[in-house]
Amino acid sequence: MDNKRMKKLDSYFQPPEGEIKSKISNIISKLEVKDFDRDFWRRQIEKDFHISRIKPADTRNTGFLAADSSINTKNLRYHALWSLHCISLYGLYNGGENEDPLVGHGSIPYANLMYDSSVDFGSFNPYWMLEQQMNHIRIAREYGSLVDSYNELAGSNTKVDYILVDGSLRTNSENLSLKADLKTIDAALEAQEKLLDLKKVVSMVEDSHSSEISRKMGLNMSNLMLFNLILEEGEYMVDPGRFNTCYIKLPGKNLSYSDAKSRPTTVRWEFSYADFEEDLNLLAAVWLRENDLLHPQTYPLRIADFLTRQIKTSGLLEEAVGETNPDLEFREMRESSTFD
């Protein structure tokens, strides 16, 4: 029989190199934006949304409280475990030349940096919809950490002007509204409402792939890409609602490691309250003042993220499994052979 695809299996395995190269070239071509009529699509956007311009305000002493977490899971033969490390971080922005406590040289525009670190373990119960439960656990812990830290700081008369959330308040809230018989939803919803009862909660999304606006217009791209294409430097658009979602094309800025200004950066920031324009201008000014890194989030969120990763949650799970010695998945018991 003359087989064109099937080959005899022996010790010489040959992957389809030509197919790999062809598929890579094909996907690269699909990433390019072609024949995009910027003026046309800008007019279409302006039918539904108002485009405004930021006016970066003079900065002032501003207290920021942020939180982030890292979470990991491990499947056993009959169970699934999770581990989480959460950080809440406080910083007083004063725009000055403050010593960087992490790097040890250079300066940052924040003083009085403080943090709280907590770790937790658990097993999934019920043992289904694990990805959704993991997200609920993360939301409950991050939001709860912000509320606890805020109350502690308020009790010591420490200035907290803004509470910063990693990721999207809107997306998190929508996920929690999905009907599912999961205990983890209740804890996350309770933490969310306690957080939103506090003043001026702002979320900053590191990477957004939401596409509901672009899909409505028949475009095959993310919202972030759409607004990066149609907004002028320094402009922003607001998608209003319980959470006012802003797509902002922040101006290029000076960075300590480069002689040239950065390119404009389009970001997604969300405000949990109305009449936020003055706060948006202040946050934009703070972002422009930070010169250590080009990133859509401000320093407190970036450092909270950095600190969560100082503990490897996967390693914590391995340690827990080593202590209890449960039955492992069969895939983890395979013995591999190596071929020269």
User: What are the domain boundaries of the chain?
Assistant: 40-329
Cα separation, 264 vs 130, whole angstroms = 38
Please tell me the pTM assigned to this model. 0.88
Percentage of the chain modeled with pLDDT above 90: 60
Q: Is 169 helix (H, G, I), strand (E, B) or coil?
A: helix
148 falls in which pLDDT band (50, 70, 90)? very high
The pLDDT value given to residue 128: 80
Q: Given this model, what pLDDT does residue 60 score?
A: 85
Mean pLDDT of the residues in the chain? 89
Check whether 268 has a pLDDT greater than 50. Answer: yes
Confidence of residue 34 (pLDDT cuts 50, 70, 90): confident
Task: Note the pLDDT of residue 106.
Answer: 74
| pLDDT tens digits along 39-56 | 999 999 999 999 999 999
Distance of alpha carbon 255 from alpha carbon 290, whole angstroms: 8
Q: Range with the lowest mean pLDDT among 115-119, 136-140, 160-164, 175-179?
A: 175-179
Name the band, by pLDDT with cuts 50, 70 and 90, for residue 192: very high
Question: Can you tell me the mean pLDDT for 234-262?
Answer: 94
Give the pLDDT of residue 177.
86
The string of pLDDT tens digits covering residues 61-72 is 999 999 999 998
Mean pLDDT of 172-176: 92
Cβ(202)–Cβ(272) under 8 Å?
yes
Q: Which of 55-69, 130-144, 193-207, 310-324 has the lowest mean pLDDT?
A: 310-324
What pairs with residue 235 in β-bridges?
53
How many beta carbons lie within 10 A of that of residue 295, not counting itself?
Answer: 16
Neighbours of 22 (CB within 10 A): 10
Q: What is the pLDDT of residue 334?
A: 62
Distance CA 175, CA 131 (A): 12
pLDDT, residue 72, reads 87
The pLDDT, as a whole number, for residue 194 is 97
Helix (H, G, I), strand (E, B) or coil at 223: helix
What is the structure's pLDDT at 150? 97
For residue 336, pLDDT over 80 is answered with no
Whether the per-residue pLDDT at 337 is higher than 50: the answer is: no
pLDDT in tens, 80-137: 888 899 999 999 999 998 988 887 667 899 999 999 999 988 888 878 888 899 999 9
Q: Given a cut of 90, is residue 316 above it in pLDDT? A: no
pLDDT at 338: 47
Query: Tell me: domain 40-329, CATH 3.30.2170, correct?
Result: yes
Q: Let me know: does 119 contact 84? Beta carbons within 8 Å.
A: yes
- C-alpha span between 18 and 60 (Å, rounded): 59
Predicted confidence at residue 141, as pLDDT, reads 96
Write the CB contacts of 288 (distance below 8 Å, at least 6 apart in sequence).
Answer: 56, 250, 251, 253
Say if residues 206 and 297 touch (Cβ distance below 8 Å).
yes
User: 204 versus 21: which is more confidently predicted?
Assistant: 204
Give the pLDDT of residue 317: 74
